[in-house]
Amino acid sequence: MGNVNQNEEAKIFAENLSYYMKLHKVDRVMLANELGFKYTTVCDWCNGKVVPRKNKIKVLANYFSISESDLTWRDNLLTDKNINKKREILVYKDFPTKLSFDKESESNYLWEEIELPTLYGDHNNYFGYIIFDEINNYGKKVFPEDTIVFKKSDRITKKNTFYVIKVSKGKPMIVYLTESDNSYIFMPIIEYNKIKPIVCSKGELNVKIIGVSKYLIRNL
């Protein structure tokens, strides 16, 4: 976490954790119950008394579909000032074969529009997808009516997270990216469970990358 003392680390972690709990409408009791943590331990984290062990930070990051640094670095904190300045992004319920991110021409594929905090930059670089079936694979748990927010990207920027990809002339699909020594493995999520995993050589990527997941919005 850089050149900060232990008390400052705990404070930074508490601020970041509290933000993501607020964003996803998760309280301390719910977080403790869903992840199997002691309630008093969660309270200590939220109150800035202690920083969790690395394995616990990883569990929390997976739960919120964010990176571990989003919880541990001050630069990643979304302040109230930034939260209150928002712009809308498109949320899809299905993808057209040719994804253009045009509200008018793709209205039949859209579910809603949601607000995005300005800290993420240009809202035109983001889009969302609403999930209708529970996903409980790869260490990620996504519930029906959760929305995954993706940042537009044409390359792999991180592993062990969700991507939107397109293969040949097929429709874009949401996959979970893992890897082996020489290959990337794209695992289709539940909507596409009849499709086999897509394996690509790291030296020759034969799929089109459209977006990488940034965070999860949970509806209660």
For residue range 35-82, list pLDDT tens digits in order.
999 999 999 999 999 999 999 999 998 888 777 877 887 644 444 444
Considering the segment(s) 6-77 as one domain, its CATH architecture is Orthogonal Bundle (1.10)
* pLDDT over threshold 80, residue 126: yes
Q: Which helix (H) or strand (E) holds 136?
A: strand 135-137
* pLDDT one-digit tens code per residue, 147-190: 999 999 998 988 888 999 998 878 999 999 998 888 999 988 86
Q: Considering the chain, what percentage of its residues have pLDDT values greater than 90?
A: 40
Q: What are the sequence ranges of the domains in the chain?
A: 6-77, 89-217
**Chain mean pLDDT for the chain:** 83
Give domain 89-217's CATH number out of 3.40.50.670, 1.10.10.1150, 3.40.50.300, 2.10.109.10. 2.10.109.10
Please tell me the distance from the alpha carbon of residue 59 to that of residue 42, in angstroms, as a whole number.
Answer: 13
pTM of model > 0.75: no
pLDDT the model gives residue 128: 94
At CB < 8 A and 24+ separation, what contacts does 104-108 make?
A: none
pLDDT the model gives residue 203: 82
* pLDDT over threshold 60, residue 105: yes
Under 8 Å between Cβ of 171 and 165: no
pLDDT the model gives residue 137: 66
